[in-house]
Structure formats: structure tokens, C-alpha cells
Amino acid sequence: MNAPYSKPLDPKWYRAAKNYPVVSLLIVLSAMGGMLVSFNTSIALGYFSFSDFSGSQYWRIVTPIFLHFGLLHFVFNSLWLSMLGSRIEQHNGSLHLMMLVLVSGAMSNTAQFWWSGEVFFGGMSGVVYALIGYLWIAGMIFPQPENQLPKGIVIFMIGWLVLCMTPVVTFFIGVGIANAAHLAGLVFGMMLGGVFGLVGKINQHRV
């Protein structure tokens, strides 16, 4: 007697890509950016490092978020992006998350350039801090299960932000930290979280 046919389960990576396409795309692009930095720094610097509106390569206002310097840098940012971004994408939609990432990326990159004057920096950390600020303030104004962050996460990440502003982290990892991008991302994310939190609260009272 033949056993009944059962459809094989989709692999986890496929389900993640299907349920969170923007988060998955951002992680793939970050992996590609990290490999580009490792294997061809001249192309990474020449085509994807920061450039403001004075030129015609406008994509370079955003593309530094995909440049990662080492495996640990990529993994750290990808884990936070996966945890935070999936919440927003699931409950607010893919377009909402994509716009949040692009705008906060441009803001944090620009802040880092204005502060340091350097163009060769990168990483998704400014966006990660924007997502933390967004969920933190939106959850305070308009508490919903999807935008509630454990206080421990907020305390840890703000503590890490402050610690990175001291010479301690730079001394141990041997590279500079884009502190202006982190701070600008957090502040900008808090502002957006305040706006969307208020909108959600107002809409709730109208129902």
C-alpha cells in the first residue's frame, strides 16, 4: 500500500524570502556589498561610496548602507535588520519598510559625510538605529504587539551607541565607527515613529 503523497515543505530560506521580500533583498545586497569591498575595493569606492547631490550619481547617497567591512559587520547588521525589519514589513507592508530604509539610509549617510568629511564608510547600522527609534517611539505613542520592543534591546543599543563614541570600541576592532550615521538614524527613526504613531492613534479613535 502506497503512502499518501505529502507536499514537501518549503525550505526556511524560501519562506523567509516569500514572507519578507524586502528584508531578504536588503540582506542579499549587503552580502554582495561586503564581497565587493573585500575583493574589489576600487569599484566599491568609485561607484558605491557616498556622493552628495553635487554629482549625477544619486544612488551613492544610499548605496553605502550595503558596503560592509568584514563578516562580523555584515552578520551583526543583518541579524538586527532581520529582527526589526521583519516586524515592520509584516505589519506595515513591504513598501513602507523600503521607503523607511531608503530615506533613513540617505539621512544617516549624509549626516556621516557632513560630520566626518569622509566618503568611504558603510554599513546598515544607521538604518538599524532608525528602525529601533521608529519602533521604540511608535510603540510608546500607539502601543501594538508588532511595534513593542523589549526595554532591554533599546537600553543595549543606546548603550552600544554611547560606547562606540568612546575610543574603546575603535581600539579593539581597529576601524573607525560611523557614529554620526548611528545617531542621525536613531533621531530620524524616532521622528518617523512619532509621526506614524500619532497617525495610528488618530485613526484608531476615528473608528
CA 59 – CA 86 distance, rounded (Å): 24
Which residue is catalytic, options 68, 78, 104, 182?
182
Of residues 187 and 55, the one with the higher pLDDT is 187
Query: For position 94, what pLDDT does the model report?
Result: 95
Check pLDDT > 60 for residue 9.
no
Spell out the domain ranges in the chain: 12-206
Of residues 32 and 14, the one with the higher pLDDT is 32
Q: What confidence category does residue 77 fall into, taking pLDDT thresholds of 50, 70 and 90?
A: very high
Exposed e or buried b per residue across 80-98, where buried means at least 16 C-beta atoms within 10 angstroms of its C-beta:
bbbebbbbbbeebeeeebb
Q: How many residues does the chain have?
A: 207
Query: For position 128, what pLDDT does the model report?
Result: 96
Fold for the domain defined by 12-206:
Rhomboid-like fold (1.20.1540)
Query: For position 118, what pLDDT does the model report?
Result: 79
Structural contact between residues 64 and 110, judged by C-beta atoms closer than 8 angstroms: no
Structure confidence by residue, pLDDT tens digits, 54-74: 667 889 999 999 999 889 889
Cα dihedral 19, 22, 26, 28 sign = positive
Question: Is 182 a known active-site residue?
Answer: yes
Q: pTM of the full predicted structure?
A: 0.88
Query: For position 202, what pLDDT does the model report?
Result: 85
Cα dihedral 129→135→138→139 (10° resolution)? -140
The arithmetic mean of pLDDT across residues 116-144, rounded, is: 90
Which residue is catalytic, options 24, 30, 104, 125?
125
